[in-house]
Homo-oligomer: A and B are copies of this chain.
Amino acid sequence: MSNKPTAKPTKSERTRAAILEAARELFTEFGYQAATVRDVAHRASIDPAMVIRYFGSKEELFARAASIRLNVPQLKVVDSQAIGETLVRHFLNLWEGPESSCGMAVLLRSAASNEFAAEKMRDVFAAQVRPVVASVGDPATAARRAGLVSSQLLGLAMCRYILRLPPVVDLSQVEIVRAIGPTLQSYVMATDEDAMCKI
């Protein structure tokens, strides 16, 4: 054990990090089922048995690899007319920015055919999207408004990064912001009179 309370001098749990990185890459590319423990081990240049010893099981490894922090910006400090654009820009940056690999691809690849991933997706929504939307407008309608926002952003991700629908892949970031920004703006700002609650 080299777990000193402070200052961990990185032993050979570079191995652990290597496994986790390999897992992220393969889960991102092939999804939970198709990415095998043996594949992960091979990419991390280590024996499959170590993957299990370090993470307990494939499920736990996936859970580790699928942790997401959206870091959605606080909407109250944003020009209320520019909330939609801000959200789209942030979302594009999560997927295509310099650090990229926000981890959403890991989840989105598997969420459709893996209940565990789907539940984690719902958790991310409840913990990181809904609260942000709730910070502006009527809190009573926040969940619905956040749901609409998610439907558009998740659909964008599906078409652009997962299915790779050519016309959506070909769009520039600016075009996406101009097209989808107003949509999100209307969803976030929707009131009862618009369409949200009564009938």
Which residues of A are interface residues toward B (Cβ below 8 A)? Answer: 30-34, 108-113, 118, 121-122, 125, 130, 143-144, 146-148, 150-156, 158-160, 162-168, 170-172, 174-175, 178-180, 182-183, 186-187, 190, 194-197, 199
Complex interface: chain B residues within 8 A of A162 (CB)? 111-112, 118
Contact indicator B154/A167 (Cβ below 8 Å): no
Partner of A175, one of B121, B160, B175, B196: B196
A148 partner residues in chain B, CB cutoff 8 A: 168, 179-180
Contact B154 A111 (CB under 8 A): no
Q: How many copies does the complex hold?
A: 2
**Which of B31, B143, B167, B180 is the one whose CB lies under 8 Å from A112?**
B31
Chain B residues whose CB sits within 8 angstroms of the CB of A154 once the complex forms: 155, 158-159, 163
